[in-house]
């Protein structure tokens, strides 16, 4: 049986996304905390400029489960 990652990857490829991939949230968050601190420092320094969505959604960047509590993984795609 094909797993969900394979199905999503195939569909992303069929839709001509430039790149795509998935991660396990638990594993990722263990290594992400230092990156998140750099992100919050970057925001605090004012580098977000007019991109207010980066500030408004800052808490969900720390842990996506704050927005979707039952999430187990994240699958991202990049546009054509």
Q: pLDDT tens, position by position, for the chain (80 residues)?
A: 359 899 999 999 999 999 999 999 988 888 887 888 899 999 999 999 999 998 888 888 888 899 999 999 999 999 86
- Residue 80 has what pLDDT? 66
Does the pTM surpass 0.75? The reply is no
CA–CA dist 23, 41 (Å, integer): 24
Please measure the distance between the N-terminal and C-terminal CA atoms of the chain and give it in whole angstroms.
Answer: 29
Q: How many residues does the chain have?
A: 80
In eight-state DSSP terms, residue 68 is S
CA–CA dist 55, 62 (Å, integer): 12
């Amino acid at each position: 049986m094909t797993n969900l990652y394979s199905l999503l990857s195939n569909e992303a490829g069929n839709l001509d996304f430039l790149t795509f991939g998935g991660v396990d949230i638990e594993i990722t968050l263990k290594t992400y905390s230092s990156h998140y601190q750099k992100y919050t420092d970057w925001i605090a320094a004012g580098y977000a400029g007019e991109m207010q969505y980066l500030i408004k959604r800052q808490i969900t960047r720390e842990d996506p489960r704050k927005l979707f509590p039952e999430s187990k993984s994240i699958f991202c795609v990049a546009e054509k």
